Amino acid sequence: MKNKIEYDKYTVNTIRIGITTCLLGVILSFGPPLYLYLVYGAIPPGKSILSGYLVILSMFGISYFTDMIAFYPVAGLTGIYMGYFAGNMSGLRLPVMLAAREALGINQQSEPKKAEIVGTIAMGASVFVSVAATSLVAIIGPWILSVLPQVIIEAFDYASPAIMGTLVAIVGRQDVKRFVIASVLAGVVLFMDLPALFNFPLVIFASIAISLYEYKKHKEKAEEEDRKEEKDKEVQFE
């Protein structure tokens, strides 16, 4: 097959692990619903399942793919396979990945391989922690609630925006101008009050379009300056 792309061993492993585990995930996901059907005879009518599925598709159909497009450049193959499967991408996996790169002073553009592996290790750690946490809560949940002071429990209501704040700081500092533009776009989109379905794709694609446009202009300017230099050199030799 012409144009076959050669992947290095790391990537081959990544894809292999990813496809196997995600396939297993799809199959095993049906465990509980099937159990309920086989043991209790409980199952919604096919029509209901279908109409429910259509509702889900209308709400998230685009997100399944745009999330991947948006996170893939930063998270890499491993980041998506793991992040998607373990869940909580923007609230936990991504922040942890970025935090690890930040802590080690690794820039993804200049050291992509390092960034990929560091991100992988950190995300793996986050999976262990999150599963341990949910398991802990499953076992002694009510006791935890009874022991923690009320103030702390109420403070956890702000965990989500807090984590988002740290992400805003990390991503914003990478390129302030671009982030300000993206924030303005986000503000405009929110103000327009469209169905939620359109918000993310709109902002993502607008942000990409603006960045690509600026890049094109920058490239053209650089090429113009190269041409001027060439012309000046010609003049010198006349």
Site for another protein, residues 185 to 214, rule: CB under 8 A: 185-187, 189-190, 199-200, 203-208, 210-212
- Cα gap 67→201, rounded to integer Å: 9
Q: Give which of 178, 158, 169 is closest to 99, Cα–Cα.
A: 169
Residue 236 near another protein by CB under 8 A: no
Residue 5 near another protein by CB under 8 A: yes
Beta carbon of residue 221, minimum distance to another protein (angstroms, whole number): 14
Q: Output Rg (C-alpha) for the chain, integer angstroms.
A: 24
DSSP 45-64: -HHHHHHHHHHHHHHHHHHH
Residue 58 near another protein by CB under 8 A: no
Residue 235 near another protein by CB under 8 A: no
Beta carbon of residue 230, minimum distance to another protein (angstroms, whole number): 22
Q: Give the x-and-dash track for 22-51 against another protein (CB under 8 A).
A: xxxxx-xxxxxxxxxx-xx-xxx---xx-x
Q: Which of 192, 194, 198, 215 binds another protein (CB under 8 A)?
A: 215
> Which of residues 165 and 226 has its CB atom nearest to another protein in the complex?
165
Beta carbon of residue 228, minimum distance to another protein (angstroms, whole number): 22
C-alpha separations of 212 from 185, 203, 207, 216 in Å: 16, 14, 9, 6
Residue 65 near another protein by CB under 8 A: yes
Which contacts of 232-236 are long-range, i.e. CB under 8 A and separated by 24 or more positions? none
**From the centroid of its chain, how far is CA 165?**
16
> Which of residues 194 and 231 has its CB atom nearest to another protein in the complex?
194
Q: Give which of 187, 208, 190, 209 is closest to 198, Cα–Cα.
A: 190
